[in-house]
Protein backbone atom coordinates (compact mmCIF):
# COMPACT_ATOMS: atom_id res chain seq x y z
CA UNK A 1 0.00 0.00 0.00
CA UNK A 2 1.29 3.45 -0.86
CA UNK A 3 1.05 6.59 1.20
CA UNK A 4 -2.00 7.73 -0.74
CA UNK A 5 -4.13 4.68 0.09
CA UNK A 6 -6.96 4.32 2.56
CA UNK A 7 -6.27 2.43 5.76
CA UNK A 8 -8.96 1.19 8.12
CA UNK A 9 -8.03 0.04 11.62
CA UNK A 10 -11.00 -1.69 13.22
CA UNK A 11 -11.72 -3.52 16.43
CA UNK A 12 -9.57 -1.19 18.55
CA UNK A 13 -10.05 -2.09 22.21
CA UNK A 14 -8.73 1.14 23.72
CA UNK A 15 -7.94 4.35 21.89
CA UNK A 16 -5.42 6.71 23.49
CA UNK A 17 -5.64 10.22 22.03
CA UNK A 18 -2.30 11.69 23.07
CA UNK A 19 -4.21 14.71 24.42
CA UNK A 20 -3.64 15.25 28.10
CA UNK A 21 -7.03 16.92 28.59
CA UNK A 22 -8.81 13.82 27.26
CA UNK A 23 -6.39 10.90 27.00
CA UNK A 24 -8.98 8.23 26.16
CA UNK A 25 -11.37 8.41 23.20
CA UNK A 26 -14.64 6.53 22.93
CA UNK A 27 -13.98 4.92 19.55
CA UNK A 28 -13.02 1.57 18.05
CA UNK A 29 -12.05 2.53 14.50
CA UNK A 30 -9.62 4.92 12.81
CA UNK A 31 -9.49 5.64 9.08
CA UNK A 32 -6.58 7.30 7.33
CA UNK A 33 -6.40 8.58 3.78
CA UNK A 34 -3.25 9.71 2.03
CA UNK A 35 -1.24 9.16 5.21
CA UNK A 36 -3.46 11.48 7.27
CA UNK A 37 -6.10 10.65 9.84
CA UNK A 38 -9.49 11.10 8.15
CA UNK A 39 -12.02 9.77 10.66
CA UNK A 40 -12.26 8.40 14.20
CA UNK A 41 -15.32 6.79 15.76
CA UNK A 42 -17.44 3.70 16.09
CA UNK A 43 -17.01 1.40 13.11
CA UNK A 44 -20.78 1.11 12.78
CA UNK A 45 -21.02 4.86 12.23
CA UNK A 46 -18.15 5.19 9.74
CA UNK A 47 -17.83 4.53 6.02
CA UNK A 48 -15.13 1.88 5.82
CA UNK A 49 -15.60 0.97 2.18
CA UNK A 50 -12.81 1.43 -0.35
CA UNK A 51 -9.94 0.56 1.99
CA UNK A 52 -6.71 -0.67 0.42
CA UNK A 53 -5.55 -1.98 3.78
CA UNK A 54 -7.58 -3.20 6.75
CA UNK A 55 -6.02 -3.87 10.13
CA UNK A 56 -7.97 -5.93 12.63
CA UNK A 57 -6.64 -4.58 15.90
CA UNK A 58 -7.97 -7.66 17.73
CA UNK A 59 -9.01 -5.52 20.67
CA UNK A 60 -5.58 -4.07 21.44
CA UNK A 61 -4.73 -0.46 22.30
CA UNK A 62 -3.98 2.13 19.64
CA UNK A 63 -1.97 5.23 20.54
CA UNK A 64 -0.22 7.90 18.48
CA UNK A 65 3.27 6.81 17.45
CA UNK A 66 5.63 7.76 20.25
CA UNK A 67 7.95 10.76 19.91
CA UNK A 68 11.50 10.77 21.24
CA UNK A 69 12.20 14.45 21.88
CA UNK A 70 15.94 14.02 22.35
CA UNK A 71 18.19 11.87 20.19
CA UNK A 72 21.68 12.28 18.74
CA UNK A 73 21.57 10.73 15.26
CA UNK A 74 24.47 11.08 12.87
CA UNK A 75 23.80 9.42 9.55
CA UNK A 76 21.41 6.72 8.37
CA UNK A 77 20.69 3.94 10.84
CA UNK A 78 24.18 3.93 12.28
CA UNK A 79 25.63 5.61 15.35
CA UNK A 80 29.38 6.03 15.76
CA UNK A 81 28.87 6.71 19.49
CA UNK A 82 28.57 3.01 20.34
CA UNK A 83 29.42 1.64 16.89
CA UNK A 84 25.86 0.41 16.54
CA UNK A 85 23.79 -0.40 13.47
CA UNK A 86 19.98 -0.32 13.20
CA UNK A 87 19.37 1.51 16.46
CA UNK A 88 16.56 3.52 14.83
CA UNK A 89 14.84 0.37 13.53
CA UNK A 90 15.18 -1.12 17.01
CA UNK A 91 13.57 2.00 18.46
CA UNK A 92 10.69 1.76 15.99
CA UNK A 93 10.18 -1.70 17.48
CA UNK A 94 9.76 0.18 20.76
CA UNK A 95 6.86 2.20 19.34
CA UNK A 96 8.76 5.39 18.41
CA UNK A 97 7.78 6.82 15.02
CA UNK A 98 9.30 10.31 15.33
CA UNK A 99 12.70 11.35 16.69
CA UNK A 100 13.98 14.87 17.21
CA UNK A 101 17.69 15.58 17.01
CA UNK A 102 19.33 17.56 19.78
CA UNK A 103 22.46 17.81 17.65
CA UNK A 104 24.47 15.45 15.45
CA UNK A 105 27.29 15.70 17.94
CA UNK A 106 28.74 12.23 17.51
CA UNK A 107 29.90 12.81 13.95
CA UNK A 108 33.62 12.03 13.99
CA UNK A 109 35.49 15.22 13.17
CA UNK A 110 32.36 17.34 13.61
CA UNK A 111 33.09 20.82 12.23
CA UNK A 112 33.09 23.59 14.80
CA UNK A 113 33.91 26.47 12.45
CA UNK A 114 30.80 28.38 11.51
CA UNK A 115 30.60 27.62 7.82
CA UNK A 116 31.34 23.97 8.56
CA UNK A 117 28.73 23.55 11.30
CA UNK A 118 26.11 25.21 9.13
CA UNK A 119 26.97 22.94 6.21
CA UNK A 120 26.72 19.83 8.38
CA UNK A 121 23.36 20.89 9.85
CA UNK A 122 21.92 21.47 6.40
CA UNK A 123 23.29 18.17 5.14
CA UNK A 124 21.94 16.24 8.16
CA UNK A 125 18.50 17.78 7.69
CA UNK A 126 18.59 16.64 4.08
CA UNK A 127 19.87 13.10 4.52
CA UNK A 128 17.24 12.21 7.12
CA UNK A 129 14.52 13.92 5.10
CA UNK A 130 15.59 12.04 1.99
CA UNK A 131 16.12 8.62 3.61
CA UNK A 132 14.04 7.70 6.63
CA UNK A 133 15.47 4.63 8.39
CA UNK A 134 12.64 2.04 8.43
CA UNK A 135 10.22 4.91 7.80
CA UNK A 136 10.96 6.67 11.10
CA UNK A 137 10.69 10.44 10.94
CA UNK A 138 14.08 11.67 12.12
CA UNK A 139 13.91 15.45 12.42
CA UNK A 140 17.58 16.31 12.26
CA UNK A 141 19.96 19.04 11.24
CA UNK A 142 20.40 20.68 14.64
CA UNK A 143 23.53 22.85 14.70
CA UNK A 144 25.47 23.23 17.92
CA UNK A 145 26.05 26.93 18.37
CA UNK A 146 29.54 28.36 18.68
CA UNK A 147 30.90 31.80 19.56
CA UNK A 148 31.12 34.08 16.55
CA UNK A 149 27.76 33.19 15.00
CA UNK A 150 25.75 36.17 13.85
CA UNK A 151 22.09 36.78 13.09
CA UNK A 152 22.69 36.20 9.38
CA UNK A 153 23.90 32.67 10.15
CA UNK A 154 20.54 31.77 11.66
CA UNK A 155 18.72 33.30 8.72
CA UNK A 156 20.91 31.29 6.34
CA UNK A 157 20.17 28.09 8.27
CA UNK A 158 16.42 28.75 8.31
CA UNK A 159 16.39 29.65 4.62
CA UNK A 160 18.09 26.32 3.94
CA UNK A 161 15.43 24.34 5.83
CA UNK A 162 16.96 24.01 9.29
CA UNK A 163 14.27 24.11 12.01
CA UNK A 164 16.15 22.96 15.11
CA UNK A 165 19.08 24.03 17.21
CA UNK A 166 21.29 21.46 18.91
CA UNK A 167 21.71 21.41 22.66
CA UNK A 168 23.27 24.64 23.84
CA UNK A 169 26.29 23.81 25.96
CA UNK A 170 27.77 21.12 23.71
CA UNK A 171 29.62 23.84 21.80
CA UNK A 172 31.67 26.82 22.96
CA UNK A 173 28.61 28.89 23.97
CA UNK A 174 27.96 28.10 27.62
CA UNK A 175 27.00 31.54 28.99
CA UNK A 176 23.41 32.70 29.30
CA UNK A 177 23.85 36.08 27.65
CA UNK A 178 25.32 34.79 24.38
CA UNK A 179 22.92 31.84 24.36
CA UNK A 180 19.94 34.16 24.91
CA UNK A 181 20.96 36.38 22.01
CA UNK A 182 21.36 33.43 19.65
CA UNK A 183 18.11 31.81 20.81
CA UNK A 184 16.39 35.09 19.97
CA UNK A 185 17.86 35.07 16.45
CA UNK A 186 16.90 31.43 16.01
CA UNK A 187 13.34 32.05 17.17
CA UNK A 188 13.00 35.05 14.85
CA UNK A 189 13.62 32.71 11.90
CA UNK A 190 11.50 29.83 13.17
CA UNK A 191 14.29 27.64 14.59
CA UNK A 192 13.44 25.80 17.84
CA UNK A 193 15.99 25.69 20.61
CA UNK A 194 17.00 23.37 23.43
CA UNK A 195 19.73 23.34 26.05
CA UNK A 196 21.86 20.80 27.89
CA UNK A 197 20.68 21.14 31.51
CA UNK A 198 22.94 19.87 34.28
CA UNK A 199 26.50 18.69 34.60
CA UNK A 200 28.79 17.65 31.74
CA UNK A 201 27.67 14.52 29.86
CA UNK A 202 31.01 13.41 28.46
CA UNK A 203 34.48 14.97 28.48
CA UNK A 204 34.20 18.20 26.50
CA UNK A 205 30.68 19.22 27.46
CA UNK A 206 30.06 21.64 30.31
CA UNK A 207 27.86 22.56 33.26
CA UNK A 208 24.66 24.42 32.46
CA UNK A 209 22.94 25.60 35.65
CA UNK A 210 19.50 27.09 36.16
CA UNK A 211 20.67 30.68 35.66
CA UNK A 212 22.08 29.87 32.23
CA UNK A 213 18.91 27.95 31.30
CA UNK A 214 16.70 30.85 32.34
CA UNK A 215 18.81 33.47 30.58
CA UNK A 216 19.04 31.39 27.40
CA UNK A 217 15.24 31.08 27.30
CA UNK A 218 15.13 28.07 24.99
CA UNK A 219 11.88 26.46 23.81
CA UNK A 220 12.84 23.21 25.54
CA UNK A 221 14.60 22.71 28.87
CA UNK A 222 16.62 19.80 27.52
CA UNK A 223 16.97 16.85 29.91
CA UNK A 224 15.86 18.78 32.99
CA UNK A 225 16.74 15.59 34.92
CA UNK A 226 20.34 15.75 33.74
CA UNK A 227 22.24 13.98 31.05
CA UNK A 228 23.24 12.17 33.27
CA UNK A 229 24.26 14.52 36.14
CA UNK A 230 21.23 16.46 37.35
CA UNK A 231 21.20 19.93 38.85
CA UNK A 232 20.56 20.21 42.61
CA UNK A 233 16.90 19.76 43.53
CA UNK A 234 16.24 23.42 44.30
CA UNK A 235 17.40 24.39 40.80
CA UNK A 236 15.14 21.83 39.15
CA UNK A 237 12.19 23.08 41.19
CA UNK A 238 13.06 26.65 40.23
CA UNK A 239 13.13 25.74 36.53
CA UNK A 240 9.74 24.04 36.82
CA UNK A 241 8.35 27.14 38.53
CA UNK A 242 9.91 29.68 36.15
CA UNK A 243 9.67 28.08 32.74
CA UNK A 244 6.86 28.02 30.25
CA UNK A 245 9.12 25.94 28.01
CA UNK A 246 8.88 22.18 27.61
CA UNK A 247 10.24 20.28 30.61
CA UNK A 248 12.04 17.40 28.97
CA UNK A 249 12.69 14.25 31.00
CA UNK A 250 15.10 11.72 29.49
CA UNK A 251 15.94 8.07 29.96
CA UNK A 252 19.68 8.78 30.05
CA UNK A 253 19.17 11.13 32.98
CA UNK A 254 18.82 10.87 36.73
CA UNK A 255 15.68 8.91 37.59
CA UNK A 256 15.19 10.55 40.98
CA UNK A 257 15.40 13.97 39.32
CA UNK A 258 12.87 12.75 36.77
CA UNK A 259 10.40 12.00 39.55
CA UNK A 260 11.15 15.34 41.23
CA UNK A 261 10.39 17.11 37.95
CA UNK A 262 7.17 15.17 37.49
CA UNK A 263 5.95 15.78 41.03
CA UNK A 264 6.85 19.47 40.87
CA UNK A 265 5.15 19.90 37.51
CA UNK A 266 2.03 18.21 38.87
CA UNK A 267 1.95 20.51 41.92
CA UNK A 268 2.27 23.50 39.60
CA UNK A 269 -0.45 22.16 37.26
CA UNK A 270 2.13 22.01 34.46
CA UNK A 271 1.90 18.38 33.39
CA UNK A 272 1.09 19.61 29.87
CA UNK A 273 4.70 20.88 29.65
CA UNK A 274 6.26 17.47 30.41
CA UNK A 275 7.81 15.74 27.38
CA UNK A 276 10.02 12.66 27.06
CA UNK A 277 13.24 11.72 25.33
CA UNK A 278 15.95 9.14 25.58
CA UNK A 279 19.08 11.26 24.93
CA UNK A 280 20.43 8.26 23.06
CA UNK A 281 22.78 7.28 21.57
CA UNK A 282 25.03 8.41 24.39
CA UNK A 283 27.52 7.10 26.87
CA UNK A 284 24.67 4.99 28.27
CA UNK A 285 24.14 3.42 24.87
CA UNK A 286 20.91 3.34 22.91
CA UNK A 287 17.52 2.51 24.37
CA UNK A 288 15.15 0.93 21.87
CA UNK A 289 12.50 0.74 24.60
CA UNK A 290 13.55 3.96 26.32
CA UNK A 291 10.34 5.89 25.77
CA UNK A 292 8.16 2.97 26.88
CA UNK A 293 10.40 2.58 29.90
CA UNK A 294 9.98 6.27 30.79
CA UNK A 295 6.21 5.93 30.48
CA UNK A 296 6.25 2.91 32.81
CA UNK A 297 8.69 4.58 35.24
CA UNK A 298 6.74 7.82 35.54
CA UNK A 299 3.39 6.05 35.68
CA UNK A 300 4.43 3.55 38.33
CA UNK A 301 6.82 5.47 40.60
CA UNK A 302 5.35 8.89 39.77
CA UNK A 303 1.76 7.72 40.22
CA UNK A 304 0.49 9.10 36.95
CA UNK A 305 -2.31 7.39 35.03
CA UNK A 306 -0.71 5.38 32.22
CA UNK A 307 -2.87 7.11 29.61
CA UNK A 308 -1.55 10.46 30.86
CA UNK A 309 2.06 9.27 30.79
CA UNK A 310 1.55 8.29 27.14
CA UNK A 311 0.61 11.93 26.45
CA UNK A 312 4.05 13.02 27.69
CA UNK A 313 5.53 11.09 24.76
CA UNK A 314 2.93 12.04 22.16
CA UNK A 315 0.58 15.02 22.26
CA UNK A 316 2.57 17.10 24.73
CA UNK A 317 5.69 16.82 22.59
CA UNK A 318 3.75 17.52 19.41
CA UNK A 319 2.28 20.67 20.90
CA UNK A 320 5.49 21.98 22.45
CA UNK A 321 7.41 21.13 19.25
CA UNK A 322 4.67 22.21 16.81
CA UNK A 323 4.55 18.86 15.00
CA UNK A 324 1.69 17.36 12.97
CA UNK A 325 2.03 13.98 14.71
CA UNK A 326 1.33 12.76 18.26
CA UNK A 327 -2.46 13.08 18.50
CA UNK A 328 -5.40 11.10 17.18
CA UNK A 329 -7.16 13.89 15.38
CA UNK A 330 -8.36 14.36 11.77
CA UNK A 331 -5.70 15.93 9.56
CA UNK A 332 -2.73 14.73 11.60
CA UNK A 333 -0.22 12.20 10.32
CA UNK A 334 -1.46 8.62 10.54
CA UNK A 335 1.37 7.47 12.81
CA UNK A 336 0.29 4.82 15.30
CA UNK A 337 1.56 2.22 17.72
CA UNK A 338 -0.67 -0.75 18.52
CA UNK A 339 0.12 -2.48 21.78
CA UNK A 340 -1.34 -4.81 24.34
CA UNK A 341 -0.65 -5.94 27.85
CA UNK A 342 2.46 -8.09 27.88
CA UNK A 343 2.02 -11.81 28.38
CA UNK A 344 2.01 -12.75 32.07
CA UNK A 345 2.46 -9.12 33.17
CA UNK A 346 0.41 -8.39 36.29
CA UNK A 347 -2.60 -6.08 36.09
CA UNK A 348 -6.19 -6.41 34.96
CA UNK A 349 -5.75 -4.13 31.93
CA UNK A 350 -2.89 -2.72 29.86
CA UNK A 351 -3.16 0.58 31.73
CA UNK A 352 -3.06 -1.06 35.14
CA UNK A 353 -0.14 -3.19 33.98
CA UNK A 354 1.85 -0.09 32.98
CA UNK A 355 0.94 1.60 36.26
CA UNK A 356 2.48 -1.41 37.98
CA UNK A 357 5.71 -0.67 36.13
CA UNK A 358 5.45 -3.17 33.28
CA UNK A 359 6.13 -2.45 29.63
CA UNK A 360 3.35 -3.07 27.12
CA UNK A 361 3.99 -5.36 24.15
CA UNK A 362 4.11 -3.60 20.79
CA UNK A 363 2.20 -5.48 18.10
CA UNK A 364 2.38 -3.11 15.13
CA UNK A 365 3.66 0.30 14.07
CA UNK A 366 2.19 2.46 11.32
CA UNK A 367 3.73 5.63 9.83
CA UNK A 368 1.92 7.85 7.33
CA UNK A 369 -0.81 5.24 7.06
CA UNK A 370 1.63 2.47 6.10
CA UNK A 371 2.21 -0.61 8.26
CA UNK A 372 5.94 -0.60 9.11
CA UNK A 373 6.42 -3.38 11.65
CA UNK A 374 4.45 -6.27 13.10
CA UNK A 375 5.16 -7.92 16.43
CA UNK A 376 8.04 -6.13 18.10
CA UNK A 377 11.28 -8.04 18.35
CA UNK A 378 12.20 -5.99 21.42
CA UNK A 379 9.23 -5.62 23.76
CA UNK A 380 7.86 -8.43 25.89
CA UNK A 381 5.35 -10.34 23.75
CA UNK A 382 1.87 -8.85 23.68
CA UNK A 383 -1.13 -10.97 24.67
CA UNK A 384 -2.96 -10.23 21.42
CA UNK A 385 -1.56 -9.13 18.05
CA UNK A 386 -3.20 -6.96 15.41
CA UNK A 387 -3.32 -8.39 11.93
CA UNK A 388 -3.57 -7.07 8.38
CA UNK A 389 -6.63 -8.76 6.87
CA UNK A 390 -7.92 -8.89 3.29
CA UNK A 391 -9.63 -5.61 2.40
Provide the binding-site residues for Zn ion, judged by CB under 5 A.
Answer: 167, 196, 201, 227
Rg (CA), the chain: 20
Which CB sits closer to Zn ion, 125 or 201? Answer: 201
Spatial separation of the C-alpha atoms in residues 118 and 111, rounded to whole Å: 9
Q: What minimum distance in Å lies between the beta carbon of 383 and Zn ion?
A: 37
Which CB sits closer to Zn ion, 68 or 340? Answer: 68
CB atoms within 10 A of CB 2: 10
Q: What minimum distance in Å lies between the beta carbon of 283 and Zn ion?
A: 11
Which CB sits closer to Zn ion, 118 or 196? Answer: 196
For residues 284 and 228, the answer to whether their CB atoms sit within 8 Å is yes
Q: What minimum distance in Å lies between the beta carbon of 141 and Zn ion?
A: 17
Which CB sits closer to Zn ion, 194 or 373? Answer: 194
Cα 215 vs. chain centroid, distance in angstroms?
A: 25
Q: What minimum distance in Å lies between the beta carbon of 167 and Zn ion?
A: 5
Q: Which residues contact 338 (CB under 8 A, 6 or more apart)?
A: 9, 55, 57, 60, 61, 62, 362, 363, 364, 365, 366, 386
Q: Where are the beta strands (DSSP E) in 96-161?
A: 96-101, 137-139
Which CB sits closer to Zn ion, 65 or 280? Answer: 280
Which CB sits closer to Zn ion, 112 or 188? Answer: 112
For residues 95 and 60, the answer to whether their CB atoms sit within 8 Å is no
Q: What minimum distance in Å lies between the beta carbon of 70 and Zn ion?
A: 8
Which CB sits closer to Zn ion, 167 or 307? Answer: 167
Q: What minimum distance in Å lies between the beta carbon of 60 and Zn ion?
A: 35
Q: What minimum distance in Å lies between the beta carbon of 41 and Zn ion?
A: 42
Q: What minimum distance in Å lies between the beta carbon of 227 and Zn ion?
A: 4
| Helix/strand/coil (H/E/C) assignment for every residue in 214-247 | HHHCCCEECCCCCCCCCCCHHHHHHHHHHCCCEE
Spatial separation of the C-alpha atoms in residues 105 and 162, rounded to whole Å: 16
C-alpha distances out from residue 365 to 31, 92, 103, 104, 337, Å: 15, 7, 26, 26, 5
Q: What minimum distance in Å lies between the beta carbon of 201 and Zn ion?
A: 5
> Is residue 110 packed enough to be buried (19+ CB in 10 Å), middle (13-18) or exposed (0-12)?
middle
Spatial separation of the C-alpha atoms in residues 274 and 249, rounded to whole Å: 7
Which CB sits closer to Zn ion, 103 or 369? Answer: 103
Q: Which residues contact 31 (CB under 8 A, 6 or more apart)?
A: 6, 7, 8, 9, 37, 38, 39, 40, 46, 48, 51
Q: What minimum distance in Å lies between the beta carbon of 244 and Zn ion?
A: 21
Spatial separation of the C-alpha atoms in residues 45 and 42, rounded to whole Å: 5
Spatial separation of the C-alpha atoms in residues 147 and 161, rounded to whole Å: 22
Which CB sits closer to Zn ion, 8 or 138? Answer: 138
Which CB sits closer to Zn ion, 167 or 368? Answer: 167
List the beta bridge partners of residue 246: 220
Amino acid sequence: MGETGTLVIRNIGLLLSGKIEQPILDADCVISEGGRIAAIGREADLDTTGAETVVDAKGVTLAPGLIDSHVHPVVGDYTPRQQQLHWIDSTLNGGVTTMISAGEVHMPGRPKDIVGLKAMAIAAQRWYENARPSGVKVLAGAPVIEHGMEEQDFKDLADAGVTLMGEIGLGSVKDGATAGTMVGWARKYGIQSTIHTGGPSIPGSGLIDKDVVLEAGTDVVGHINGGHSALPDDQIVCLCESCRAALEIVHNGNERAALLTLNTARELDKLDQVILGTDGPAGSGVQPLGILRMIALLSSLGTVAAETAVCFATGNTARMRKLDVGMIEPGRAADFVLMDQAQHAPGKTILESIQLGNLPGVGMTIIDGVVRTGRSRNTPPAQRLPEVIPA
